[in-house]
């Protein structure tokens, strides 16, 4: 293919994929199958890799991320990102209305919108293409996070239609949908990580990640809520919102034009409970004067616009009685207390259970069984207990004594210093832990055996057919046919009959056979090594390429892998030294699972110029990520270590390196080098 032919095909594919993305994410239409879409994207990616200079900045291939940013440049906002004045009362809202009425002559109207609890973002477009995405920062300047913004699929990279201005700015709210947040926290809990507090914090942290590939996997979304340019081509804010939606922006359909204060109050009352049907948390309503000329007439104070105000909802809370505490045991052995409550209506749903998190929380609130407790559901998804009404405490009640033995197997619980959770150490004999590991193994991000599930796993475990993952591959029609039981699902809370007929058995065995095609990184994640989530598993698989190399890797080799620290390295070493795990691994290999992949170009051996040399990398580097430098050293025979000692060959120093490391290196007469000097060792 000639360069001109490639350019034409890249343009054609880009336009087609942009269109399909718009149809899917904004119109809920799938014009082609997932396979056809993937083939178009794969062809585009192949052409762009072959003709790299032809890749547009806003190519659809940038949706998956992959760039590493060590520092985010600071950008001064063309239009300051001001805060809004807040009110919690109808009286204050009435006073705001009087002030507006006093300044404006004639009629005016408002636009009411949801105050989404996400992260404000500023997006600049030129000639119909995204050129910059900037955080709010201090309102005057923010961080340029364009590479991360390009991964958010509800933010258009290229606009629809021909009638957009040459240059303009859009304000929006980036958020993590509840469904994504739940999955992310489920995975973190599954591997023993601390849970994220709420979707807003998760979205904020994700936007500032330096690896745009990881940002893409977090599946953030965005609602556009404001248009800015000079001059303004619209008379009203409502017209601007309609135009943004037409051009391909994700504009929430929840806004409403209100002609009177009474309509504003009716809108507030409607959404006080209806907001809980939305995919994102909201904490209030934003009321704006609709006409742009009238906005200019009202003007600004030093900090806020006079033409807008935010009406904040009070946190939704209810009082109810704590009936009991149930303790759940997870896959990693973590024991989590759950409050069983007298049913109470809260935020539009009936709440019967609430999180108590851990023993520290129970002690902090001084909780007694039988207490009247306050339950809140604000930005959190799962209701939580926020306090106790001690005036209603029963006279004979006693403080909750946290369990000292596992509720499932009665093994004494342990609590590691510095950790909040209690753990059951009986990982090989505790039924919830065993079943949790089996459920993890078949899950979507692991082996993806969708024909199985919680109830079927419980049945297979009860019948003694499957207690370790390798035993899935021993199942036959004869072993499965006719099995049945009544099952009460802990997660669903529903009782149902599980039975294995011919069709069910065929589906199970077909799913197990299909799972043998899962790539190495997913198999590694499925093994359930503590602290090894899907991202870490991918890093390990890319770096070591085979299970044999990973199994033989010493501590120093593990910690030189990007994102692998002391805790993960020790967990991996511990898993591979367990004799029972070795047996399981051997049987999974014999069953035909994928335990190798092609080594990435970054870590493939290039030379032995650094053989026998050891390196510590510290600080921030302007033109290189630490991962890139680690891969470069490893590929040329060098060894990455974590600590400075007399045996160290070089300390590669970047900006903001801690003074303690420099002092220790100087004390031990270790040679301190720059990145350029490192490249010089390689003749570059």
Choose between 586 and 37: higher pLDDT: 586
Q: Which pLDDT tens digit goes with each residue over 462-510?
A: 999 999 999 999 999 999 999 988 876 555 456 778 889 999 999 999 9
Strand order in the sheet with 119-126: 129-135, 119-126, 167-175, 221-228
Does residue 36 carry a pLDDT above 80? Answer: no
What is the pairing mode between strands 110-116 and 256-258?
antiparallel
Strand-pair category, 317-329 with 372-376:
antiparallel
pLDDT in tens, 324-348: 999 999 888 989 899 999 998 886 6
The residues that are catalytic are 115
Look at residue 248 and tell me whether its pLDDT is greater than 80.
yes
Cβ distance 24 to 30 under 8 Å? Answer: yes
Question: pLDDT digit string (tens) for 377-435?
Answer: 755 556 888 889 999 999 988 899 899 999 999 999 999 877 778 999 999 999 999 99
The number of beta carbons lying within 10 Å of the beta carbon of residue 401 is 8
Q: What is the pLDDT of residues 509-561, one digit of tens each?
A: 999 999 999 999 999 999 999 889 887 898 899 889 999 999 999 998 898 78
Q: Yes or no: say if 288 and 237 are a contact pair by the CB < 8 Å rule.
A: yes
Which candidate, 122, 121, 151, places its Cα nearest to that of 21? 151
Least confident of 103-112, 116-125, 161-170, 208-217: 208-217
List the beta bridge partners of residue 616. 651
pLDDT digits (tens, 9 = 90+) for 598-641: 765 545 567 788 888 888 888 777 667 676 787 788 778 888 77
- Cα–Cα distance between 673 and 651 in angstroms, integer? 6
* Closest of 642, 548, 640 to residue 599, by C-alpha: 548
Q: What mean pLDDT, rounded, does the chain reach?
A: 87
Task: Give 6's Cβ-side CA count (13 Å radius).
Answer: 17
Closest CA to 531 of 330, 332, 329: 332
Q: Nearest-CA neighbor of 210 among 66, 413, 34, 374? A: 66
3-state SS string for 87-130: ECCHHHHHHHHHHHHHHCCCCCCEEEEEEECCEEEEEEEECCEE
Q: Which of 209, 136, 210 is nearest to 169 (CA)?
A: 136
Has residue 581 got a pLDDT over 90? yes
Which SS3 state, helix, strand or coil, does residue 20 take?
helix
**What number of other Cβ atoms are within 10 A of residue 46's Cβ?**
11
Backbone angles phi, psi at 384, to 5 degrees: -135, 155
Alpha helices by DSSP H, 234-378: 237-247, 261-274, 292-298, 359-365
pLDDT, mean of residues 296-318:
86
pLDDT of residue 316: 74
Confidence band, pLDDT 50/70/90 cuts, at residue 35 = low
**Phi and psi for 649 in degrees, rounded to 5?**
-85, -50
Q: pTM for the whole thing?
A: 0.60
List, edge to edge, every strand of the sheet that includes 671-673: 639-640, 614-618, 650-653, 671-673
What pLDDT is recorded for position 106? 83
pLDDT band (50, 70, 90) for residue 566: confident
Please state which of the ranges 56-65, 92-101, 126-135, 273-282 shows the lowest mean pLDDT.
56-65
Q: Mean pLDDT throughout 452-463?
A: 91
Q: Which domains does the chain have, with CATH numbers?
A: 3-62 (1.10.287.610), 80-312 (3.30.470.30), 317-418 (2.40.50.140), 431-517 (1.10.150.20), 520-591 (1.10.150.20), 614-681 (3.40.50.10190)
Q: How confident is residue 124, by pLDDT bands cut at 50, 70 and 90?
A: very high
């Amino acid at each position: 293919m000639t360069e001109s032919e490639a350019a034409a095909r890249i343009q054609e594919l880009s336009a087609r994929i942009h269109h399909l993305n718009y149809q899917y994410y904004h119109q809920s239409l799938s014009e082609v199958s997932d396979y056809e879409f993937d083939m178009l994207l794969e062809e585009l990616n192949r052409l762009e890799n072959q003709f790299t200079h032809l890749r547009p900045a806003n190519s659809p291939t940038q949706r998956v991320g992959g760039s590493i940013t060590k520092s985010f440049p600071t950008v001064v906002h063309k239009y300051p990102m001001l805060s809004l004045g807040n009110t919690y009362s109808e009286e204050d809202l009435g006073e705001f209305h009087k002030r507006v009425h006093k300044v404006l002559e004639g009629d005016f109207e408002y636009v009411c919108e949801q105050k989404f609890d996400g992260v404000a973002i500023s997006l600049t477009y030129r000639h119909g293409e995204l050129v910059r995405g900037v955080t709010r920062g201090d309102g005057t300047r923010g961080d340029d996070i364009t590479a991360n913004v390009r991964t958010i699929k509800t933010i258009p990279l290229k606009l629809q239609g021909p009638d957009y201005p040459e240059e303009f700015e859009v304000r929006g709210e980036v958020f993590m949908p509840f469904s994504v947040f739940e999955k992310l926290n489920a995975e973190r809990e599954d591997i023993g990580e601390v849970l994220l507090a709420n979707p807003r914090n998760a979205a904020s942290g994700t936007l500032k990640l330096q690896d745009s590939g990881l940002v893409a996997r977090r599946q953030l979304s965005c609602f556009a809520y404001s248009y800015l340019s000079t001059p303004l081509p619209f008379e009203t804010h409502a017209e601007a919102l309609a135009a943004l939606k037409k051009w391909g922006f994700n504009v929430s359909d929840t806004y409403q034009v209100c002609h009177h204060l009474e309509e504003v109050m009716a809108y507030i009352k409607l959404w006080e409970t209806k907001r809980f049907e939305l995919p994102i948390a909201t904490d209030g309503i934003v009321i704006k004067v609709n006409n742009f000329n009238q906005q200019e007439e009202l003007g600004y104070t030093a900090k806020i616009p006079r033409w807008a105000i935010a009406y904040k909802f009070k946190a939704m809370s209810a009082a109810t009685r704590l009936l009991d505490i149930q303790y759940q045991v997870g896959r990693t052995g973590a024991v989590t207390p759950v409050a069983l409550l007298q049913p109470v209506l809260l935020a539009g749903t009936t709440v019967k259970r609430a999180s108590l998190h851990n023993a520290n929380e129970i002690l902090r609130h001084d909780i007694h069984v039988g207490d009247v407790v306050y339950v809140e559901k604000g930005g959190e998804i799962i209701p939580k207990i926020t306090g106790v009404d001690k005036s209603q405490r029963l006279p004979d009640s006693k403080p909750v004594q946290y369990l000292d033995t596992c509720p499932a197997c009665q093994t004494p619980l342990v609590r590691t210093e510095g950790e909040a959770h209690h753990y059951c150490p009986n990982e090989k004999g505790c039924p919830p832990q065993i079943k949790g590991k089996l459920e993890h193994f078949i899950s979507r991000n692991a082996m993806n055996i969708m024909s199985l599930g919680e109830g079927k796993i419980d049945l297979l475990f009860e019948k003694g057919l499957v207690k370790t993952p390798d035993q899935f591959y021993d199942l036959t029609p004869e072993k499965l046919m006719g099995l049945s039981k009544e099952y009460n699902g802990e997660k669903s809370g529903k009782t149902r009959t599980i039975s294995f007929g011919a069709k069910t058995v065929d589906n199970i065995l077909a799913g197990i056979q299909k799972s043998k095609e899962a790539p190495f990184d997913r198999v590694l994640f499925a093994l359930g090594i503590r602290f090894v989530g899907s991202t870490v598993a991918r890093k390990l698989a890319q770096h070591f390429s085979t299970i044999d190399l990973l199994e033989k890797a010493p501590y120093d080799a593990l910690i030189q892998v990007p994102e692998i620290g002391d805790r993960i390295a020790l967990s991996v070493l511990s898993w591979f030294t367990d004799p029972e795990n070795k047996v399981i691994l051997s049987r999974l290999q014999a069953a035909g699972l994928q335990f190798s992949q092609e080594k990435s170009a970054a870590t493939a051996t290039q030379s032995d110029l650094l053989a026998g040399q050891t390196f510590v990398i510290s600080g921030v580097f302007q033109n290189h990520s630490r991962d890139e430098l680690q891969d470069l050293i490893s590929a040329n025979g060098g060894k990455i270590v974590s600590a400075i000692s007399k045996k160290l060959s070089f300390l590669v120093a970047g900006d903001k390196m801690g003074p303690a490391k420099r002092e220790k290196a100087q004390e031990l007469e270790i040679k301190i080098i720059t990145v350029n000097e490192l490249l010089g060792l390689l003749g570059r």
